[in-house]
Structure 1
């Protein structure tokens, strides 16, 4: 399920124009989760050097892909220990190139790119309360036509229907939260894949989406 509503841009732009930059593909999303972000000089460097998809990062085999909204279960190493999550990629919003150019410091850096945002639902299945800042959303990545996109540092989590991990405190067993993950992908990409797993996980959870936009 893909959405291209202008309400998404209205929610994203006020923060994005001031803070969003591209980072090296496959990098940690710590800044988007409330950790200290890069300096202005580092932001400019990241934006200049990582505006295209990571051609060396190919999508994992998707033979057992889940359907949009279907749940799978996996573990993620949080600060308070390993936690088991039930995870479901619900939908992907794909914007326009014009919108993407408004989301980065240098519009030229977004030439030929669009922003794809995955809405992912996470449910804590235990064994206990997740204390501190949850990092499970860092495990979500977006691939377009078989190539991993470029993660968008500082992308606003408080889009319609999404929560900010910074606001999630003492995540109790059984509680669910929907968290957004945004990547820059090539304009016109048709096959989108969202996959989730802890770093080095041999079998990440995979969801396939068709981009009809």
Structure 2
């Protein structure tokens, strides 16, 4: 995998009934109008900790990761504000990658997910904070803004986005999503997304965006 700053992760999320899918990120930052207004995807935001219905898993391919340049320290807001489109609305936000927590493979099986499907994987929980500076149009309450985030290993390979259907919440995982959260000017809120990484690989970067992504180094 090269480290050119190109398209990061496009969504590959064919979620069948009673399945747990491991996918990449969503649409391009600054052009997320394809997201539905009433976004209730369990793969995005803070309800991705395995609390939805299902008991199976697949591992989808991912695309090229961004370059390892211009990294910020965790907890520092990016100076560049990002435009985020969701449904009929548009936001401008200051974005901070706050922290990344990790679990164990046993947390997945303990939550009821198939040992065969999650073999060699462990959960990673990435937290991003959004401070909204501008808002136009309608943004549905609870809309996820984490759909273009990623966790990268030392080789720049992204973890798979964890779409959980049918298992229990993962021990120590993301908190339950606030479905009443209103995104408007002045809102500041933290969202958590769960990814799966290969055992033996550690998260080294958090990323936001698909074109010229913001990058934070995980120390």
Q: Is the 8 A contact 1:163 1:180 kept in 2?
A: no
Cα 1:141–1:109 change in 2 (3 A) is same
Alpha-carbon shift at residue 81 of structure 1 (Å): 2.3
Q: 1:209 Cα shift?
A: 0.7
Against the structure 1 CA distance between its residues 104 and 140, is the aligned structure 2 distance closer, same or farther, given a 3 Å change threshold? farther
Gaps of 5+ in 2: 1-17, 28-39
Structure 2 counterpart of 1:108: 116
- Tell me what 1:71 maps to: 77
Change (3 A) 1:103 1:163: closer
* TM-score for the superposition, normalised by structure 2: 0.67
Deviations 1:60-86 (A, max 9, x none): 012101110111221111123221111
Q: Whose helix proportion is higher, 1 or 2?
A: 1
Question: What are the residue-to-residue correspondences of 1:1-213 with 2, within 5 Å?
Answer: 21-26=20-25, 30-33=41-44, 44=56, 47=57, 49-50=58-59, 54=61, 56-72=62-78, 73-103=81-111, 105-128=113-136, 131-132=139-140, 133-145=142-154, 146-154=156-164, 162=175, 164-168=177-181, 170-197=182-209, 201-210=210-219
CA–CA separation in structure 1 for the residues paired with 2:134 and 2:176 = 20
Flag the structure with higher strand content: 1
Structure 1 residues 161, 148: CA separation in 2 closer, same or farther (over 3 Å shift)? closer
- Normalised TM-score (structure 1): 0.69
Q: How many residues align?
A: 177
RMSD: 3.3
